[in-house]
Homo-oligomer: A and B are copies of this chain.
């Protein structure tokens, strides 16, 4: 039993009631703001509560009311600015509605995610926002959904699960970015997916056929957009230019080094998130190359630094904060309202053209020798 420094155990409602000379029920009403209480009684109780340093026990309250005013959020990694911004959108919206947020990082690991979902539901969160790590196994999400616990998916769609989803049109966004590079004259455009190596097989299919059915939907759908832009321009899809080497900055840098070391290196690169783009720029510096002279670059997400890199980075901007906010709004709606059909909300993206895309240099010439 928790005790203060002086040895008193923390005061409870009966203690307050006793001190105020009323019943527990009345004390509860006076402090909880429900039922009806005489103003004078209320003051008496409030005074007693303040005097004792009473602090309501939310656990007991939640146990009986059946709601915790808390939502659970499962993201890959809060250090990634995409998730940090999305979480801010979620948290602000939740907070305005009187909810707190419990956060778990999954690190894109399915086991972590499963565990997180279990723990959060045991803690009886009123709803869940999840950015699913792997669409291939969603049994835990199905369980949650079937148990009637409000669930909204963030950024990534999962087939055969009737939950609300908030995201962007990944296919169109990737296609637009790729088309922009092609329009600048590029014919060898690399794709940095940041995907897990376990996806390599699916992404090394000739011509990326069927890649849109790929497990981690964001990567799959964007890869399909990339592919379709190339095909629409009559360009070949070269599996060698598709990198699936992990989602850390160092992975992206390594992938860039590999790509630039190819006999026929790419002249442009599309990085599927801002951290990967950062890795590309870093690798260019390490090689003493410059952008866009030696390599044109487009990244996903308008990172805070995109304006101050040299050159400023051309990006596909997503309304990240709004994605989070909208996810939370859908969740709140589902928590209050009845069981309407699953909503699929697609928010607009925009290609922000800055200085990192130029015409290709003389091709067929190893940049390492220039």
Q: Which residues of A contact B (CB under 8 A)?
A: 1-5, 10, 53, 55-60, 62-63, 66, 68, 70, 77-79, 81, 84-85, 87-88, 91-92, 95, 100-105, 118-124, 143, 146-148, 249, 275, 278, 281-282, 285, 303-305, 307-310, 339
Given contacts A5-B146, A104-B100, contact A79 B70 (CB under 8 A): no
Report B-chain residues with C-beta under 8 Å of the C-beta of A304: 249, 275, 278, 305
Known: A281-B308, A309-B309. A63 touches B55 (CB 8 A): no
> Which B residues are in CB contact (< 8 Å) with A278?
304-305, 308
Residues of B within 8 A of A105 (CB): 88, 91-92, 95
Tell me whether A4 and B100 are in contact in the complex, defined as CB-CB below 8 angstroms, given that A57-B122, A307-B285, A308-B285 are known contacts: no
Q: Which of A1, A118, A285, A308 has its CB near the most chain B CB atoms (within 10 A)? A: A308
CA distance A63 to B60 in the complex (A): 6
Whether B59 and A124, one on each chain, are in contact in the complex, defined by CB atoms closer than 8 angstroms, is: yes
User: What 6 A-B pairs are tightest by C-beta distance, nearest first?
Assistant: A310-B310, A305-B305, A58-B122, A281-B308, A58-B123, A59-B63
Asked if B57 and A59 sit within 8 Å, CB to CB, the answer is no
A62 — which chain B residues lie within 8 A by C-beta? 59
Q: Contact at B307–A102, with CB atoms within 8 Å?
A: no
Closest to A6 in B: B146
Q: Which residues in B have their C-beta under 8 angstroms from that of A2?
A: 66, 147-148
Contact, CB under 8 Å: A102 / B101: yes
Other 19 A-B pairs with CB < 8 A, given A2-B148, A59-B59: A4-B147, A4-B148, A55-B122, A57-B63, A57-B122, A58-B123, A59-B62, A59-B68, A59-B124, A70-B123, A78-B87, A87-B103, A91-B104, A101-B102, A278-B305, A303-B305, A305-B309, A308-B310, A309-B309
Known contacts A60-B63, A100-B119; A79/B68 CB under 8 A: no
B285 near A121: Cβ-Cβ < 8 Å: no
30 A-B pairs with C-beta separation under 8 A = A2-B148, A3-B148, A4-B146, A5-B339, A10-B147, A53-B143, A55-B122, A56-B122, A57-B124, A58-B122, A58-B123, A59-B68, A59-B124, A63-B63, A68-B123, A70-B123, A78-B78, A79-B84, A84-B84, A87-B103, A91-B105, A100-B104, A100-B119, A100-B120, A101-B103, A278-B305, A281-B308, A304-B305, A308-B310, A309-B310
Chain B residues within an 8 Å CB radius of A102: 70, 100-103
Partner of A5, one of B63, B148, B307: B148
Give Cα A235 to B281, complex, Å. Answer: 39
Question: Which B residues touch A10, using CB under 8 A?
Answer: 147
Nearest Cβ distance between residue A73 and chain B, in whole angstroms? Answer: 9
CA distance A118 to B81 in the complex (A): 29
Report Cα–Cα, A309/B304, bound state, in Å.
12
Which residues of chain B have C-beta atoms less than 8 A from A66's C-beta? 1-2
B307 touching A308, Cβ below 8 Å: no
Q: How far is the CA of A307 from the CA of B250 in the complex (A)?
A: 13
Contact of A123 among B88, B100, B143 (CB under 8 A): B100
The winner among A66, A147, A303 for most chain B CB atoms within 10 A is A147
Minimum C-beta distance from A28 to chain B (A)? 14
State A261–B248 Cα separation when bound (angstroms).
Answer: 41
